[in-house]
Amino acid sequence: MTELFTVLVGLLLLNIVVGLARVLRGPSAIDRMLASEMFSTSAVAILLLMAFILDKHELLDVALVLALLAALTVVTFVIRVWSELEAPKSDNDPGDTLK
């Protein structure tokens, strides 16, 4: 079973590397935020798998804290985007700040 967990950790690391292309390419801040959320989800899964592989239960606490921080990050991002969408645009607005 440990071998399966090790393979899954490798696949999740590959998932993070592929997601890095989305962060670098964009095209918008929303795409980048979704990719960073995928990073945090993959990191939590890696930490949980490593906790069982290494028999280190402290990693479960680290995974929980990382999951809570990821959720807080998404809420903050949505509040920022929502406030920018509701704000009236002025005539001298240089453009959309989300792109």
Query: For residue range 29-74, what is the model confidence (pLDDT) as tens digits?
Result: 888 888 889 999 999 999 999 999 999 999 999 999 999 999 999 9
Domains (ranges, CATH) in the chain? Answer: 2-85 (1.10.287)
Question: What was the pLDDT predicted at 50?
Answer: 94
For a pLDDT cut of 70, what percent of the chain falls above it?
89
Predicted local distance difference test score (pLDDT) of residue 96: 56
**Taking a C-beta distance cutoff of 8 angstroms, is the pair 40, 67 a contact?**
yes
What average pLDDT is seen over the chain? 87
Output the CA torsion sign for 66, 69, 73, 74: positive
Residues 41 and 15: their CA atoms lie apart, in Å, by 10
Does the structure show a pLDDT above 90 at 10?
yes
Mean pLDDT of 69-91: 85
Q: Supply the Cα-derived Rg of the chain in whole angstroms.
A: 18
Residue 75 has pLDDT above 90, yes or no: yes
Gap between the Cα atoms of 76 and 81, Å rounded: 9
Q: For the residues 88-99, what does the mean pLDDT come to? A: 60
